[in-house]
Amino acid sequence: MAQTATVAQQRHVICMKWGRKYGPEYVNRLYAMVRRHLSGDFHFVCLTDDSTGIRPEVQCLPIPPLDLPAGIPERGWNKLATFSADLHGLRGTALFLDVDVVITGSLDDFFTQPGAFLIIHDYKRPWRITGNSSVYRFELGAHPDVLEYFRGHFDTIRRQFRNEQAYLSDFLHRQGKLAYWPTAWCPSFKYHGIPPWPSNYWKAPFVPPGARIVIFHGECNPPDALAGRRNRRFRFIQPATWVAEHWHE
């Protein structure tokens, strides 16, 4: 694990893996990308229900239980566990990354960008405050009320908000703590990296200018982008060969 006794406790990179949608290779490649693009020491944590196959540099810890009613759609609610008052004794600054992102540039500034809580601004509806929680940064233990209020008002929250990132953005916005990453840093592969129709038929997907972390949301993950897509008339995608340059151990 890339850490020292002093510095590593201040910078944590956290991801989360549960269920069977993503295998250990996602965590292993994410660690490798972070190591290539984050200078200095850091501590890498995976909150997971299955540590099988995850590389030894990654500290695997249990996902704190949310105690949701049985049968409730997950919709990312598990991410709210990162706001525990005491997350396994971790202290310092945490950068949360979804396991299916692809890192293409330096991460150093993600730890120094001013703001109490930083998140990606919603791509599709930028006039709303909602953030995309594929990448967010916060001080561990600094926002326990996010989780406490969620646990105490889940039925109301579930009716008011579609998913965890909508609730999280609204809650911290009301406290004046919500801020967004610079627009170019975390583009969407879906919205910013695919040539517009009809040029998508002869032009390959690309890394958007200024990108540091490319976000994959919806049905297309890094391996899907790498393979390309031909099954939809207006959503044809040439193979995104650039993914292989970054998404590896």
Sign of CA dihedral 167, 170, 174, 178: positive
The three-state DSSP-derived secondary structure of the chain is CCCCCCCCCCEEEEEEECCCCCCHHHHHHHHHHHHHHCCCCCEEEEEECCCCCCCCCCEEECCCCCCCCCCCCCCCHHHHHHHCCCCCCCCCEEEEECCCCEECCCCHHHHCCCCCEEEEECCCCCCCCCEEEEEEEEECCCCHHHHHHHHHCHHHHHHHCCCHHHHHHHHHHHCCCEEECCCCCCCEHHHHCCCCCCHHHCCCCCCCCCCCEEECCCCCCHHHHHHCECCCHHHCECCCCHHHHHCCC
Q: Where are the domains of the chain?
A: 11-180, 189-246
Joined tokens for residue 105: 């540039």
pTM of the predicted structure, to 2 decimals: 0.94
User: What does the mean pLDDT of the chain come to?
Assistant: 92
pLDDT digits (tens, 9 = 90+) for 151-198: 999 989 989 999 999 999 999 999 999 999 999 999 999 999 999 999
pLDDT digits (tens, 9 = 90+) for 118-152: 999 988 787 899 999 999 999 999 999 999 999 99
Residue 3 pLDDT class (50, 70, 90 cuts): very low
Distance CA 182, CA 243 (A): 22
Is it the case that residue 74 has pLDDT exceeding 60? yes
Residue where the block lists tokens 């290779």: 25
Of 133, 14, 15, 9, the C-alpha closest to 77 is 133
Sign of CA dihedral 90, 96, 98, 101: negative
pLDDT digits (tens, 9 = 90+) for 190-229: 999 999 999 999 999 999 999 999 999 887 899 999 999 8
Q: CATH classification of 11-180, choosing from 3.90.550.10, 3.30.56.10, 1.20.120.430, 3.60.10.10?
A: 3.90.550.10
Question: Which range is least confidently modeled, 58-62, 72-76, 119-123, 199-203?
Answer: 72-76
